[in-house]
Amino acid sequence: NVPEDQADKLLLASWGLPKAVLEKYHSLGVVQMFEWQAECLMLGQVLEGKNLIYSAPTSAGKTLVAELLILKRVLETRKKALLILPFVSVAKEKKCYLQ
């Protein structure tokens, strides 16, 4: 569980994302994460590029964790990232809002 003193980590706004990114997530109804998502992001050195393996049921929010990790790394390091998605329709959807 996320400690009480870090409860603000559930809010997307607390992760240092640009205003445009936050506005896009907010327009999609995503303002905060589930506790397990924040826990994933706070594990070890995940935000510094270390590996993370996590599993959750369909529609549980796995993609949000991956997107936040990718966005933070791309913005902080100015390097490119590769996001592999299972379906063309999902890839097109992600392309539209990640741009």
Distance in angstroms between the alpha carbons of the first and the last residue of the chain:
33
Average pLDDT over residues 51-61: 90
Q: Which residues contact 74 (CB under 8 A, 6 or more apart)?
A: 80, 81
The reported pLDDT for the residue numbered 78 is 92
Q: In which band, very low, low, confident or very high, does the pLDDT at 82 lie, cut at 50, 70 and 90? A: confident
Please give the domain boundaries of the chain with CATH numbers for all domains.
4-98 (3.40.50.300)
d(CA 35, CA 68): 15
> Where do we find the tokens 């097109």?
92
d(CA 98, CA 21): 8
State pTM to two decimals. Answer: 0.82
Average pLDDT of the chain, as a whole number: 87
d(CA 85, CA 48): 23
The reported pLDDT for the residue numbered 95 is 82
